[in-house]
């Protein structure tokens, strides 16, 4: 039955790569494996439990609700333009600057495709107008679409936090150094690649100019701050960070700030987004208040269907793997070789993310089935879980079929495979660096 399970798992990811609906593929495969094992109820029970996971549903849904409110109030656009306008005047650092700006924006706007569209629409014309090749400009934006590694509401971080029985901010703190090291390697290699290919200057293209998409937008600095305020609140109210800051300033204990949950921080952010959108027109302001409420709950619903839905079906999938004995067999193999576990958590999610254009399915399945047993392989749960999450994100950031890649290729008028040619090396190097930093 283990071999049957292995074949089903392989066929599942082949189906996902072939663009079969991810949730359907995961759930049907999980149900099939559980049924073959004579335990079909395993998949149904796992499905039901995941539907009401108190550690995941409120966090992910509230973050997505906040993102919808930012889009309604245009606070996201003000953030994008506030960061991209200065960059257009700094030609020597356009490539690394574009990566860094996208990374920072993706920290608040967690959707890779959404961030790519928002940033790419502004930055690509600016970079091309400054003489950068369109493919290099689009690849630079694409290379920064994994900044959500620093957002505690990103779907993978609460999953790892739940497995390790810690809060999401602890998970972020644990992988901060590998993330920064990976970011540094991506910045350096991408910049060198662009210089070697002679794509940083001298390109002339019709329809692009340095002014496109930037000078006609007036940035409201207060609105630009709204997307990052919830993250700042979460950082400053974290007990460990408060203690470190208190020590730095010679104070006893902590700063005395109350602990704010992720959901509460997102609600505060929504309130601020509404307040900065109030006008002297009372009726219009009241309409904005109602629209803010509608968009917040629309975002929550979208998150449940698109993100939580994958987590739910992945739970059914991993329960099927467990029922048929595949999970136990994989754990036994990894127990006998630490290197197998290390490479599996690195290159498994990365490869499938490249092929499918999404790091979610493979990463979630890995973290729900293998990561809970990290101690058996000599690793910490947070280390293995973050490694799978990061490499899945890096794999997606070089995939020619990722939604962000297709969006950016359209904006730059190039073939998506051109992005893969430029991003493959920096993403693979970042994955290897992270593997050594997190897993020794």
pLDDT in tens, 89-112: 676 788 999 999 999 988 887 788
**Around Cβ 188, how many Cβ atoms within 10 Å?**
13
pLDDT above 50: residue 212: no
Q: pTM for the complete prediction?
A: 0.81
- Which residues, including other chains, have CB under 8 Å from residue 382's CB and lie 6 or more apart? 160, 164, 166, 170, 171, 174, 175
Q: pLDDT band at residue 316, thresholds of 50, 70 and 90?
A: very high
pLDDT above 90: residue 356: no
Residue range 264-286, pLDDT digits in tens: 999 999 999 999 999 889 999 99
Residue range 220-244, pLDDT digits in tens: 999 999 998 998 888 888 777 777 7
Distance, in Å, from the CA atom of 354 to the CA atom of 72, rounded to the nearest integer, reads: 32
Residue 210: the pLDDT is 44
Note whether residue 99 is domain-resident.
yes
Note whether residue 377 is domain-resident.
no
Contact 148, 113 (CB under 8 A): no
Note whether residue 143 is domain-resident.
yes
Residue 216: the pLDDT is 66
pLDDT above 90: residue 69: yes
As for how many domains the chain has, the answer is 1
Note whether residue 122 is domain-resident.
yes
Note whether residue 414 is domain-resident.
yes
pLDDT above 90: residue 217: no
Note whether residue 48 is domain-resident.
no
Of 107-116, 239-248, 431-440, the range with the lowest mean pLDDT is: 239-248
Nearest to 307 by CA among 94, 8, 29, 63: 63
Distance, in Å, from the CA atom of 350 to the CA atom of 344, rounded to the nearest integer, reads: 10
Q: Is the dihedral of CA 13, 18, 19, 20 positive or negative?
A: negative
The whole domain housing 168 covers 53-316+391-439
pLDDT above 50: residue 211: no
Note whether residue 83 is domain-resident.
yes
Residue 213: the pLDDT is 47
Note whether residue 27 is domain-resident.
no
Q: pLDDT band at residue 201, thresholds of 50, 70 and 90?
A: confident
């Amino acid at each position: 039955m283990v071999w049957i399970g292995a074949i089903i798992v392989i066929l599942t990811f082949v189906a996902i790569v072939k663009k079969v609906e991810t949730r359907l593929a995961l759930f049907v495969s999980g149900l099939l494996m559980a049924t073959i094992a004579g335990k079909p109820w395993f998949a149904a029970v796992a499905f039901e439990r995941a539907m009401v996971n108190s550690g995941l549903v409120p966090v992910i849904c509230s973050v997505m609700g906040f993102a919808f409110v930012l889009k309604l109030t245009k606070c996201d656009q003000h953030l994008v333009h506030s960061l991209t306008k200065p960059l257009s005047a700094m030609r020597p650092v356009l490539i690394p600057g574009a990566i860094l700006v996208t990374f920072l924006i993706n920290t608040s706007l967690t959707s890779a495709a959404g961030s790519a569209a928002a940033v790419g629409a502004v930055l690509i014309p600016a970079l091309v107008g400054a003489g950068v090749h369109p493919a290099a400009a689009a690849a630079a934006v694409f290379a920064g679409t994994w900044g959500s590694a620093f957002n505690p509401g990103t779907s993978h971080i609460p999953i790892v936090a739940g497995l390790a029985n810690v809060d999401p901010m602890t998970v972020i703190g644990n992988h901060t150094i590998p993330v920064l090291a990976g970011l540094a390697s991506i910045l350096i290699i991408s910049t060198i690649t662009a210089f070697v290919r002679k794509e940083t200057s001298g390109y002339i293209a019709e329809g692009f100019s340095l002014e496109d998409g930037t000078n006609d937008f007036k940035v409201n600095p207060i609105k630009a701050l709204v997307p990052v305020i919830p993250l700042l609140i979460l950082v400053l109210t974290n007990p460990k960070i408060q203690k470190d800051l208190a020590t730095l300033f010679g104070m006893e204990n902590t700063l005395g700030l109350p602990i704010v949950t992720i959901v509460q921080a997102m609600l505060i952010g929504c309130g601020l987004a509404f307040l900065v959108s109030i006008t002297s027109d009372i009726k219009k302001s009241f309409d904005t208040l109602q629209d803010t409420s509608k968009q917040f709950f629309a975002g929550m619903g979208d998150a449940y269907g698109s993100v939580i839905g994958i987590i739910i079906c992945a739970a059914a999938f991993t329960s099927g793997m467990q029922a048929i004995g595949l999970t136990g067999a994989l754990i036994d193999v990894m127990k006998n070789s630490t290197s197998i576990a290390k490479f599996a958590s690195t290159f498994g999610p990365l490869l499938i993310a490249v092929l499918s254009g999404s790091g979610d399915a493979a990463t979630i399945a890995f973290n729900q089935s293998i990561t809970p047993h990290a101690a058996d392989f000599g690793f910490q749960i947070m280390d293995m879980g973050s490694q799978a999450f990061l490499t899945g994100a890096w794999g997606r950031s070089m995939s020619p079929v990722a939604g962000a890649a297709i969006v950016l290729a359209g904006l730059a008028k190039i073939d998506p495979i051109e992005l893969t040619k430029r991003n493959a090396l920096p993403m693979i190097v970042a994955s290897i660096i992270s593997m050594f930093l997190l897993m020794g």
